Every structure is written in structure tokens, then in C-alpha cells.
Amino acid sequence: MNDGSSWANAWTDLTNALASAQPNSFVLVAEGTYFPSGASGGAPNRDDSFRLNNGIRLRGGYLGLAGGPGAFVTPGMRDGDIAATILSGDIGVPGDSSDNCRTVVVVENGPSSLAKAQELMGFTIVGGFATDAGPVGPCAGQVSPVTSGGGVYCEVGDIEIIECRFVRNFASQNGGAFYFNGNQANYFGVKECEFLGNAAGRRGGAMRVDNAGTGATAGRPDANGLVTAAWIYSNKFVGNSAGSRDPFGACPQQGGGAVYLGPRGGVAGPGVPVAIANNTANRNVARGRGSVYYISSNVGNPVMICNDTHGANVVVSPDPTNVVPGGVVYYDNSGGTGNTISNSIIYENDDVMVASDIQGPGAGNVAVMHSDVWIPIPGAIWPGNGNLSNPPMYVNLSGGDLRLMSTSTCIDVGSDVFLLPDHADLDRDLNVVEPIPRMITTSIQRILDFGAPGSGICGAGAIVCGLVDMGAFEK
């Protein structure tokens, strides 16, 4: 019957399956490659997208009836490592991006009455190409699925994105892989994802976020009533780039090789933060400012960065006649308050000028604590408790391995006080108020710290001992 009632009767067209799914239901997708199709069943065209709405949880990585190895595999077993589920925008000539879908997934709505945001889990999203001829002026260009959010575009709905890979998506304006606007969408979370080789012509090589938490409810409370506008936890940003559309520097607010946090107007309530934790960023490029993060002018509420590691990211000057230090993390609002960086490593990156890795008019207002930040002045340390300016001794920076060698001075010198709440529930224990946990797992980057400082061994029955390390990995 192919009505989705069982694996034997699974839908054969994901576009139609989503259109037929009931609100707040699960749509489970077997391994394979799926392309958006026209709603009327016609030939695919560049404006086709998978439409995710009404609280639907879309999950990939299932074996389905196609099998997988072994005689005891069941169709409902989920294992993304052996059952890759790909949502592809390459609907035309294979390998020719000019005829690809503009946006692979569009999130359409998620009213506050729904029990949960839409969910996208366990997919590889590849080949979105959000571009058209469009305006080509210095900073011109609309924000729409035509020019922004090549992988996922969300402007009218809440979304959680979990265990996904975004690969080689492009947007001529904003958010190569993901664009979110909180004017009508109130909340989003991204955890345990990889953003690989995505690009944006202006801002946010991997993602651009505008107005997070400024919709009608100004963020979404979790089960314990704790409100965040957005969380970005335990992701890998590798080889993303922003600013290619403006090679001559005419648009000063471009950049964010990995993430661009844009303006936040609207009705955001005080203290609704964007929480960023446990991410690694390697070989991202901004032609402008902020090779990893650009935090824009009127971001109204705190942006808290905790236990991140940024290495080998590059800023390129868009205007060789007016070289401006771009930094790894760039704050462009001198009046911004409440922004923090804690337990993080921002070191061994490359700027067009010899300048510290935290830059911008608002950099001096950021509370930096227990972090290793590169400063060009020998012996100087960024102001703040517990900060360092020492080479962190990565295992293999050029190879992208940002773990710490055992002799690193960044081990056991963070502060557990500054660990952010586990908004993303990384350990799946349904406790989102506890601090970010430290445990052994293959799915996230933090692991158990076995040894208390100087002892080499934990006491009997201890689960966690020693201080948290700086950065995204625990030695």
C-alpha cells in the first residue's frame, strides 16, 4: 500500500510522506538518497524542498528492509554509521550545482501550542545551492530560501537539528548550510552535527542566525522551565567559508566563517541567551571578520561560549588597501553586555594582521575566563581569571585533531563553575539543568576525566574527578 504504516508498506517518496504525516508524529527514513520532488508529482525544479512542519520529527539512519549486515538486523534499527540517509539537492545533472535545489529542507511552522519543535535527526544534507542572479550591490540581497540557507531554511518554525552532516551546501547571501530567523521562529538547537565545506557569499559559512528568541514567546522553555533562545552544542565546523561574494570589502559586516549571529530586534526578553558549547572549529575562512564566529551589532541578549576549541581558522582581508584585524571571534557592538567566553581554546589561528584572536569594538566588554587566547604581545594574557596565552599543544593541528597532548597546560585548568547547563541533553538523561556532563561516548566530544590533578587516579567509586579541561575535549 505504501502508506507508511510499516516498513513493508513504507512510503517511496519522502516529499509525499511529509505532506501526509500527522502533527507531532515521527517519520522514520531508511538508508538511501532522497531528492525533493514537486508537490504535484511533476518534474523536480530548483524551488522544490522537503517541507518540515507541524511538530514532525524526521529521523534518518534506519536500516529498513534493505537490510544492513548480519542476519539479526531488524528494519527499525537505527545506525547512521552503516545506514547513511542522504537528503540531496542534486536534482539535475549530477555534479552540476547550478541546477540543484536552492534549499534542501524548509521548516514551515511550529506554533507554541505544539509539544515540541520540529526535529531533523540523522541525515546527511548535501548539495543545496541557494542562489540566483539577484542583486549584486555592495551589501544588497534578500534573505529568503532563494539566497539563504542552502541546506535548511527556517523562518516560521522551531527546529532541533541532531546528529546531521551538512556537506558542500552554498548560499549566495547567508547561511551556507543553515539559516534561522527568530522573528517568527522562536527557538532552535543544533547538536552533534558536522558542517563540512559549506559556503556563503556574505555571512555565515555554515549558519546564520537572526533574531534568536525574539518571536512571540522569546525562546522556548525546556521541561524544567529554563529558557534559551538557541543552543549550539558539540558540533564540528570544518572548512566552511563566508564572504566570497564581496572580494573588495564593500560590505563591512560580512564574515563568520562558521557562524554569523545577526541582529536581534523584536521582543526578546532580558537574559534569554544564545548558548554555544563544546564545538570545534578548524580551517574555516572568513573574507571579512570572524573566521569562526561573527556576533553582530545589535545582538540584544548574552552570547555565552563555553569549552570551544578553535584552531587553524583564517581571516582574509577583503580589501588589501584597508586591512582590518578580523579575529576568530568578532564582536561588532561596543555597547554589548553579558557576553562570555569560558573554558575555551582560541589559539593558533591566522589573521591578516598580527592581532589577538578576539576582535571588534565589543571585544573589550566580553568576560573571558579560564581560556587560552592568543595575543601577539609576548607574555601578555587576555584579562580575566584563569586565562592563559600558551600554545595548547594540539595532537595534530594540520590534520584537524584538536585534542590535547598529555603535556598541555590547558588540562585541568578550566572551571566547573562556568560550565553551561546541558540545554541539549547531551547524555540523554532528560536533565537539562545539570552542567554539561563529562562522560565516555562516541557521539559527543567530552569524555570522562579519569584523574584528579596530581594523583593520576580517581578515588574509589568516583564518577568524575579533577577540574574540567579547557576546550572541547577532556584529557
CB atoms within 10 A of CB 250: 12
| Nearest 10 degrees: Cα torsion 198, 199, 205, 209 | -90
Are β-strands 285-287 and 314-316 bridged in parallel, bridged antiparallel, or unpaired?
parallel
Whole-number Å distance between alpha carbons of 220 and 231: 11
| Nearest 10 degrees: Cα torsion 384, 389, 395, 401 | 60
Per-residue pLDDT of the chain (475 residues; tens, 9 = 90+): 787 788 888 888 899 899 888 888 899 998 899 999 764 455 668 888 999 988 899 999 888 776 544 433 455 566 666 668 999 999 888 888 888 899 999 998 754 455 467 899 999 999 999 987 555 555 555 566 678 999 999 887 788 999 999 999 999 889 999 998 876 556 788 999 999 999 998 899 999 988 765 543 444 444 444 455 688 999 999 999 998 765 555 566 688 999 998 865 433 444 567 889 999 999 999 988 899 999 975 555 688 999 999 999 998 876 666 666 688 999 987 656 788 999 999 999 986 555 789 998 889 889 999 999 998 888 889 999 999 999 999 999 999 999 999 999 999 899 888 888 777 777 777 777 777 776 544 444 454 444 444 333 344 444 444 678 999 988 7
Instruction: Find the length of the chain.
Output: 475
What are the backbone dihedrals phi and psi of residue 373, each rounded to the nearest 5 degrees, phi first? -125, 130
CB 193 within 8 A of CB 235: yes
Whole-number Å distance between alpha carbons of 418 and 449: 17
Whole-number Å distance between alpha carbons of 200 and 292: 13
Whole-number Å distance between alpha carbons of 34 and 87: 5
Residue for grid cell 516560521: 156
HSE-up of residue 243 (Cα within 13 Å, Cβ side): 32
